[in-house]
Amino acid sequence: MKALINMLTRLGRGSLFLIKILAGIPQLFLRFNLVIRQVYSVGVQTLLIILVAGLFVGMVLALQLHYTLTTFGAEDTLGLLVDLSLVRELGPVVAALLFAGRAGSALTAEIGLMKATEQLSGLEMMAVDPIERIIAPRFLAGFLSLPLLAAIFSAVGILGGYMVGVDLLGVDSGAFWSQIQAKVDFYDDVLNGVIKSIVFGFIVSWIAVFEGYDCVPTSEGVASATTRTVVHSSLAVLGMDFVLTAIMFN
């Protein structure tokens, strides 16, 4: 019971916090360089791991699917299946999980440390709103970066699938691409995938900045807030993915 009340009060605080962040976002268009700097540190940090993971996921997908497809003599649809799995599902979800682990945890730790070292209080006493100057740019940067990272993940994954499917397993290159061109629907598949990654970007960034801002300002406080960011945002992403998939593809 106590845990439930705790959870609800945190949710309430988190929502109020979100409203304050959103109220600070219009201001940011005047100082867009703040956001660009954060996109650099949030997005670029994560880029390498996204590239490597995307490539491997694509290659594994091609191997697994090829094995099943050959039993039905349907290797030609390999490209299509790889593409759909990535764009609809794995791109947004895996990119969001990696993003939570790499960028989300870093965001929480950074903001938490700023709180623990009184930098946030210092800003307040300088009559600068830390939510406007520190939190909102980071939130917006996370929100903008994830859809791009997910798109890169899917693109690299398809290349990985091509490398394994066409170069290694001998699927026809023309069939690989033409199936994709013919059967992938822009609205149903691509756009829905993009919407997913926008939603995930919102959730992960929100959780990450809130955990940092709300943490107990000590070393252990920052450490446990960082862990919570990764655990909660991963669970939230997977749960939301089920909900969104159920809505979109039925």
Partner 1 sequence: MPDTLIQIRDLHFTRAHKKIFAGVNMDIKAGRITAVMGPSGTGKTTLLKLIGGQLKPDQGEIQVDGQNVHQLKRADLYKLRKKMGMLFQSGALLTDLNVFDNIAYPLREHTNLSESMIRSMVLIKLQAVGLSTAHKLMPAELSGGMARRVALARALALDPMMIMYDEPFTGQDPISLGVLVKLIQDTNHALKLTSILVSHDVEETLSIADEVIILSEGKVIAEGSRDEILQSQSEWVRQFVDGKADGPVPFHYPGDSIEKQLMQAPK
Residues that bind partner 1 (CB under 8 A): 113-114, 117-119, 121-129
Select 23 or 74, whichever has its Cβ closest to partner 1. Answer: 23
Give the tokens for residue 73. 């003599």
User: Rounded to the nearest whole angstrom, what is the least distance from the CB of residue 54 to partner 1 in the complex?
Assistant: 30
User: Rounded to the nearest whole angstrom, what is the least distance from the CB of residue 127 to partner 1 in the complex?
Assistant: 4
User: Rounded to the nearest whole angstrom, what is the least distance from the CB of residue 37 to partner 1 in the complex?
Assistant: 9
Give the tokens for residue 239. 């749960």
User: Rounded to the nearest whole angstrom, what is the least distance from the CB of residue 58 to partner 1 in the complex?
Assistant: 36
Distance CA(117)–CA(102), nearest Å, equals: 23
Select 200 or 213, whichever has its Cβ closest to partner 1. Answer: 213
Task: Give the angle subtended at the CA of 96 by the CAs of 90 and 99, to the nearest 5°.
Answer: 130
Q: At 18, which amino acid appears?
A: L
Select 126 or 246, whichever has its Cβ closest to partner 1. Answer: 126
User: Rounded to the nearest whole angstrom, what is the least distance from the CB of residue 230 to partner 1 in the complex?
Assistant: 23
Contact (CB, 8 A) for 107 and 212: yes
User: Rounded to the nearest whole angstrom, what is the least distance from the CB of residue 110 to partner 1 in the complex?
Assistant: 9
Distance CA(127)–CA(121), nearest Å, equals: 10
Select 118 or 188, whichever has its Cβ closest to partner 1. Answer: 118
Distance CA(124)–CA(53), nearest Å, equals: 41
Q: Which of 237, 156, 230 is nearest to 196 (CA)?
A: 237
Contact (CB, 8 A) for 179 and 79: yes
Select 118 or 185, whichever has its Cβ closest to partner 1. Answer: 118
Q: Which of 60, 58, 63 is nearest to 83 (CA)?
A: 58
Distance CA(123)–CA(241), nearest Å, equals: 38
Contact (CB, 8 A) for 246 and 149: no
Select 33 or 227, whichever has its Cβ closest to partner 1. Answer: 33
